[in-house]
Amino acid sequence: MELLFQIIFTPVVILVSAKMLSGIYIKDFKAAFWTSLSILIVGFLVGWFLTLLLNLATLGLFWIVGLGVITRIIAYAVVIEVVDKVRDDFHTKGFLPSLWLSILLAVTWGIIDYIF
């Protein structure tokens, strides 16, 4: 059920962030839907590895003090950058808008996690 709500709300978050943030461009809702699926799939396949690398690079300090979400957000910002390079209808201008989108997605997914 949680995955279904992530699939439903992620395109909405992408569209809203494209309106709020100046560095994110998305063509339409259909593009937002396919972009969100791309982010979810690439995040599932590669996100854990990026998180592991970031935890090793920081010697696990964020994870030890309970701030592992920071490494997860940075890993998803990298995933968003990868999806940006692959998709033509989604564009971010640099790493900072990807980081902000990653933060918004983390908050949304955290709320969905909390509810379900």
Residue 68: what pLDDT?
A: 79
Which residue from 81, 3, 91 is spatially nearest to 42, judged by alpha carbons?
Answer: 81
- List the domain range (segments joined by +) for residue 57: 30-115
On whether residue 104 sits in a domain, the answer given is: yes
On whether residue 55 sits in a domain, the answer given is: yes
Beta-carbon contacts of 44 under 8 Å, excluding residues fewer than 6 positions away, are none
Beta-carbon contacts of 113 under 8 Å, excluding residues fewer than 6 positions away, are 2
Digits of tens for pLDDT over the chain (116 positions)?
888 999 999 999 999 999 999 999 999 999 999 999 999 999 999 988 988 888 888 888 877 887 778 888 999 999 999 999 999 999 999 999 999 999 999 999 999 999 98
On whether residue 43 sits in a domain, the answer given is: yes
Q: CA geometry: angle at 7 spanning 6 and 10, to 5°?
A: 70
Distance of CA 22 to the CA centre of its chain: 17
On whether residue 23 sits in a domain, the answer given is: no
On whether residue 19 sits in a domain, the answer given is: no
Counting the structural domains of the chain, the total is 1
Residue 65: what pLDDT?
A: 81
Q: Which residues pair with 25 in a beta bridge?
A: 91
Instruction: Report yes or no on whether pTM surpasses 0.75.
Output: yes
On whether residue 46 sits in a domain, the answer given is: yes
